[in-house]
Structure 1
Amino acid sequence: MLKVGLVDDSKYDLEKLFVTLSKEEDIQIVFMTDDAEEAYEHIKKDEIDLLVTDIEMPKLSGYELADFITSYALDIQVIFVTGFSGYAVHAFELNVLDYIMKPYSKDRLLKGIARLQKKKQEVQDSNKLVLRTKTDIYFIDKKDIVFIERTGRSTTIATKDSDYMVYTTLNELEEELSKRSFIRSHRSFIINIHFVKNFSLYTKNSYVVSFHGTDRKAVITKINLDALQKNYF
């Protein structure tokens, strides 16, 4: 579902946007307003994927809204829908998704949105890990993986809800996981740093890793813990 915010000081144009997009099954209108300052407040607190906005408006321009989104690296795409062509160069300096001139057709508006939906789907697909056993194929969210352990010839992937036993090596799995969230803590373990609760001294050169939401444990070497503290904490 694509979450969208709409802002245009023309109530007619705002209503046209709403009527057009509210009929699409994969689009949720989170807010609509003819006040750019109100839109600004929504942007700061609401989770939206896309802002569709006019440019020339009282108090705040759509360009300023887009600049705020870019400056604070918010994960929000912007489509300008405007009656003025003179902002096009500056708009694309902000890496906006699309620049649409009024009057526009429904197909023209949906064409730009379709690019974002495709990109969003590709990201969602890349966040899935495909696990194959002898009898089943599982698709799990990478963010739900707590840790991975290699024991003998098998690998156990422990998630928030279930464990999966596969024969994929840790090296192969490590290549598919984001280095921003997962680290190879030990030759037998990969851990998700977002689930880490604490580290307890185990031996001179290693620590036991405890996680939120499970009593299961992993191991991290002192060298890897030092690197983790330096880079993440």
Structure 2
Amino acid sequence: MKVGLVDDRYIDLDKLNGIVTGLPNIEIVFSTQSAEEAYDYIKKKAVDLLIADIEMPNLSGYELADIIHSHALDIAVIFVTGSSGYAVHAFELNVHDYIMKPYSKERLIKSIERLIEKNKSAEMTGRLYIKQKNDIHIVQKKDIVFIERSGRSTTIYTKTGQIKTYQTLNELEGELRERDFLRSHRSFIINIHYVRNFSLYAKNSYVVSFEGLEKQAMITKDKVDFLQQNYF
């Protein structure tokens, strides 16, 4: 697990470093007193977990968490703070934990261990079972670029190829409840993380182009507006 640490107080940052460094299978990608520097890292999705103070000059830990949430970045957040006033708002941002200073070493370790166990469970359920006549294909959800319904069959386009099934989009949509996937059109489900651009196709629809794939999908204007308001 790649971890980033940010706290504008050196003594608090040093404590975080001391605790996290001693944990197995964890790499500290950055440790900084600058929230702006932390922001540069999270924009690159260089971390799996951000441990941050909340009240910092210029850019706050809460604003960092809001960026992660609004951009649907796959980064967990643990707040370690001396202020209790953000607890309700933190819950709205779906942060993993809210730890009040002063805290014990065991309290932070237990929180990180809980996140690791949660991620293991998510990995087990992060697969889509594609039914065919005599076969069942197992696909990692994160590898799905988009899904298209055409006639009576459905094609699932992944990073490595495509799979055809008779399962409907409604059936598959029920299995893809993650924030990454959007029913962009009556005939398409797209993974927003692979979207390269939208090109106007008609008055109320756009063509969607994807990273690393020549095939394209469709998205309605309403769904583009929804994406802009809720994701970007």
Q: Is TM more than 0.5 here?
A: yes
Give me the whole-angstrom Cα distance separating, in 1, the residues matched to 2:154 and 2:17.
Answer: 50
- Post-superposition CA distance 1:147-171 (Å, at most 9, x none): 322442x321112321012232111
Say whether the 8 Å CA contact 1:5–1:52 is kept in structure 2: yes
Residues 23 and 171 (structure 1 numbering): CA distance in 2 closer, same or farther, change over 3 Å? same
Equivalent residue number for residue 172 of structure 2: 173
Is the contact made by 2:143 and 2:159 (CA closer than 8 Å) also made in structure 1? no
Match of 1:147 in 2: 147
Question: Shift of residue 110 of structure 1?
Answer: 0.7
Which residue identity does 1:71 align to in structure 2? E
Distance in 1 (CA, whole Å) between partners of 2:146 and 2:123 is 19
CA distance in 2, matches of 1:97, 1:66: 21
Alignment partner, residue 183 of structure 1? 183
Q: Is structure 2 residue 67 aligned with structure 1 residue 74?
A: yes
214 and 29 in structure 1: CA distance in 2 versus 1, 3 angstrom threshold: closer
- CA change 1:168–1:99 in 2 (3 A) is same
Checking the alignment, whether the CA contact within 8 Å between 1:14 and 1:32 is kept in structure 2 is yes
Shift of 1:208: 8.7
Q: Secondary structure at the residue paired with 1:101?
A: coil
Largest Rg, 1 or 2? 1
Cα distance change, pair 180–4 in 1 and its aligned pair in 2 (3 A): closer
Residue in structure 2 matched with residue 20 of structure 1 by the alignment = 19
Q: Are the equivalent residues in 2 in contact too, given 1:4–1:51 (CA < 8 A)?
A: yes
Q: Distance in 1 between matches of 2:160 and 2:171?
A: 23
User: Could you list the runs of 5+ residues in structure 2 that have no partner in the other structure?
Assistant: 69-75, 91-96
RMSD: 3.9
Asked whether the equivalents of residues 83 and 100 of structure 2 are also in contact (C-alpha less than 8 Å), the reply is yes
- Asked if 2 retains the 8 angstrom alpha-carbon contact of 1:3 and 1:28, the reply is yes
SS in 2 for 1:63: coil
Alignment of 1:27-38 (within 5 A): 27-33=26-32, 36=33
CA contact under 8 A between 1:157 and 1:165: conserved in structure 2?
A: yes
Q: In structure 2, do the counterparts of structure 1 residues 181 and 46 end up closer, same or farther at CA, with 3 Å as the change threshold?
A: same
Contact 1:146 1:211 in 2 (8 A): no
Matched residue count:
202
Once residues 216 and 29 of structure 2 are traced to their aligned partners in structure 1, the CA distance between those partners, rounded to angstroms, is: 41
CA distance in structure 2 between the partners assigned to 1:66 and 1:109 by the alignment: 26
C-alpha distance in structure 2 between counterparts of 1:18 and 1:67, whole Å: 21
Say whether 1:92 aligns with 2:92: no
CA distance in 2: counterparts of 1:79 and 1:210, whole angstroms? 37
Moved beyond 6 Å, runs of 4+ = 205-208
Residues of 2 paired with 1:18 and 1:199: CA distance? Answer: 49
Structure-1 residue corresponding to 2:56: 64
Q: 1:17, 1:184 → 2: CA distance? A: 42
What CA deviation, in whole Å up to 9, does each residue of 1:64-105 have, x standing for no partner? 369813235133623427xxxxx4533635635222535x34
* Residue 173 of structure 1, CA deviation: 1.3
8 Å contact from structure 1 (residues 127, 143) kept in 2: no
The equivalent residue for 1:42 is: 37
Unaligned runs of 5+ in 1: 54-61, 82-86
Instruction: Choose between structure 1 and 2 for higher RCO, CA contacts under 8 A separated by at least 6 residues.
Output: 2
| 8 Å CA contact retained: 1:130, 1:139 | yes
